[in-house]
Chain A
Amino acid sequence: MEALIGAAWIGVLLQAGGEGVPLGPRAVNVRNGAFYESVRPFRKLLRDARYGEPVTVTGVLGSFSRVLLNDGTEAYIATSALVPREKFRPEAADEAEMGKIRAQGYEAGRFDPETEKKYKAQKGPALEAAYREVDALEARALVRDRAGLERALVEFRRAGRLGEFGPAGAGIP
């Protein structure tokens, strides 16, 4: 059964790769992203993906790309997390990073920390307080610790009889 499911997914992968799906050099364009050892039928985390990290796409499996990492490891990452390497432009995540990026002579005011800072100042203390709430919400977002999130979700699915622990996934490891 497992072998059959594996073969079916490899079939999907090869088919997708053979139909003009963009393969080749890409860069990770998200923060808090992750590489997986496998994604079908169920995800298995490999490690966190670094923002800007170069990869080479060798195939596509549904919404994931099969990639080669710099050290030769094969992994999967969400296709939506990648951009063609030549199109990758570092964008600041916060004010501290803004300075670093500027020091490289890149990037000026866009919808970024600088615009946000001026917008907050213009709107006054109530909105500044609300922005602090957004910061706090993001800081405690479970996705900040991907390994911890994946572990918690396995337990959550097990307790709720979902995914691999539900009727549809019964018997699939």
Chain B
Amino acid sequence: MPRILFPLLLLGAAACARPRLTESQEYYVGRGVAANAIAENPLVSNADLERYVAQVGYTIALESDRPETFKGYSFGVLRSDSINAFAAPGGFVFVTTGALRAMRNEDELAGVLAHEIAHVNLRHPEEAANRASAKAGALDLLGGVAKLVVAIAYRDDPDRRETMTKLVEAFGKVLDDLAQEVVNGYGRESELEADRMAVDLLTRPGVGYDPGALKDFVLRLPPKDRGHWATHPTLEGRARNIEEEIRRRGIRAEIDPVRTRRFLEATAALRR
């Protein structure tokens, strides 16, 4: 064996040991999750409201530990009475009109968005995408496609066509698995972790929201929507977790009425 081949093989083996989606692949998975969510609950066509939600979101996201994703964060409002918010891989963050109606002020909205941005920072959507991809065998397929690129010139090759067909099927399976997890939550420990990070993000020097508002919102969720948060810890458990984190960090913050006023103005159309 030529001497140069051995180190190359070792490098190849190391690279294959733990296949992961790249940032751009995660972004395409995120777009798929976003499209499926929008197919079920359309985006609200209210440019002012979307801009307002996005400004609250960017205020937090750009101060976070992951201010950049492959194509940046996108914030959208979905028309749905269900009280929910979620983040898909790549930084697509959605909040429902039901959730906005249930909120009382901007600091509550910031709390909910900070929780979702925390998921993106902690790479929970990406980990879920990787799990779903592994389950669907998509990562093996991605490896297979890469090998094909090396082995054959890129043209309309029957082997490649077959791989492509399998890849599209796998893509669909990944999205089906992932959509459920993204919308319903990433598991109890991940949700608590996201709440703790949300407290940190909300109180960074460039931000300055009252993290107590997230606790207030969580405690006010109506019983019918608690089932939606089945993968979340109990709401009382979440509230305690947030409160402990606020105490641990020695945070004293207040909700400024000017923010409450602009929140009520921005969401007025939803309350008519």
Q: Which has the most chain A C-beta neighbours within 10 Å: B28, B35, B69, B75?
A: B35
* Chain A minimum-CB-distance residue to B110: A162
A-B contact count (CB 8 A): 188
Q: A80-B66, A162-B208 are in contact. Are A137 and B74 (CB under 8 A)?
A: yes
Q: A43-B62, A130-B35, A133-B35 are in contact. Are A166 and B164 (CB under 8 A)?
A: no
A106 to chain B, nearest CB (A): 8
Q: A115-B171, A119-B172, A138-B71 are in contact. Are A109 and B160 (CB under 8 A)?
A: yes
| Residues 139 to 153 of chain B near chain A (Cβ within 8 Å) | 142, 145-146, 148-149
The answer to whether the Cβ of A4 comes within 8 Å of any Cβ in the partner chain is no
A52 to chain B, nearest CB (A): 12
The answer to whether the Cβ of B42 comes within 8 Å of any Cβ in the partner chain is yes
- Asked if A153 contacts B256 (CB within 8 A), the reply is no
- Asked if A43 contacts B206 (CB within 8 A), the reply is yes
Q: A143-B58, A161-B259 are in contact. Are A119 and B67 (CB under 8 A)?
A: no
Contact with B along A25-43 (1 / 0, CB 8 A): 0000111111000001111
- Asked if A81 contacts B68 (CB within 8 A), the reply is yes
- Asked if B24 contacts A112 (CB within 8 A), the reply is yes
- Asked if B154 contacts A102 (CB within 8 A), the reply is yes
- Asked if B66 contacts A78 (CB within 8 A), the reply is yes
Chain A residues contacting B262 (CB-CB under 8 Å) are 159-160
Chain A residues contacting B51 (CB-CB under 8 Å) are 142
B134 to chain A, nearest CB (A): 13
A30 to B149, CA, bound (A): 24
A31 to B74, CA, bound (A): 13
Contact with B along A129-173 (1 / 0, CB 8 A): 111011001101111100001001100110111111011110010
- Asked if A30 contacts B168 (CB within 8 A), the reply is no
Chain A residues contacting B114 (CB-CB under 8 Å) are none
A126 to chain B, nearest CB (A): 6
The answer to whether the Cβ of B184 comes within 8 Å of any Cβ in the partner chain is no
- Asked if B25 contacts A110 (CB within 8 A), the reply is yes
The answer to whether the Cβ of B31 comes within 8 Å of any Cβ in the partner chain is yes
- Asked if A141 contacts B72 (CB within 8 A), the reply is yes
- Asked if B55 contacts A142 (CB within 8 A), the reply is yes
A90 to B39, CA, bound (A): 30
The answer to whether the Cβ of B59 comes within 8 Å of any Cβ in the partner chain is yes
The answer to whether the Cβ of B205 comes within 8 Å of any Cβ in the partner chain is yes
Q: A31-B72, A63-B66, A118-B164 are in contact. Are A164 and B206 (CB under 8 A)?
A: yes
- Asked if A127 contacts B73 (CB within 8 A), the reply is no
- Asked if B59 contacts A162 (CB within 8 A), the reply is yes
A133 to B55, CA, bound (A): 20
The answer to whether the Cβ of A53 comes within 8 Å of any Cβ in the partner chain is no
* Chain A minimum-CB-distance residue to B142: A110
- Asked if A41 contacts B28 (CB within 8 A), the reply is no
A10 to B256, CA, bound (A): 32
Contact with A along B238-265 (1 / 0, CB 8 A): 0000000000000000101011001000
Chain B residues contacting A113 (CB-CB under 8 Å) are 28
- Asked if A80 contacts B65 (CB within 8 A), the reply is yes
A67 to chain B, nearest CB (A): 13
Chain B residues contacting A169 (CB-CB under 8 Å) are 205-206, 208
A85 to B208, CA, bound (A): 36
B151 to chain A, nearest CB (A): 11
Contact of B148 among A31, A40, A102, A108 (CB under 8 A): A108
- Pairs A–B under 8 Å by Cβ, sample size 9: A30-B23, A34-B68, A110-B142, A122-B168, A123-B172, A134-B31, A134-B34, A161-B208, A163-B59
Question: Could you list which residues of chain B lie within 8 angstroms of chain A, going by C-beta atoms?
Answer: 21-25, 28-29, 31-32, 34-36, 38-39, 42-43, 47, 50-51, 54-55, 58-59, 62, 64-76, 92, 106, 138, 142, 145-146, 148-149, 154, 160, 163-164, 167-168, 171-172, 175, 203, 205-209, 254, 256, 258-259, 262
Question: Could you list which residues of chain A lie within 8 angstroms of chain B, going by C-beta atoms?
Answer: 29-34, 40-43, 62-63, 77-78, 80-81, 89, 91-93, 102, 105, 107-116, 118-119, 122-123, 126-127, 129-131, 133-134, 137-138, 140-144, 149, 152-153, 156-157, 159-164, 166-169, 172
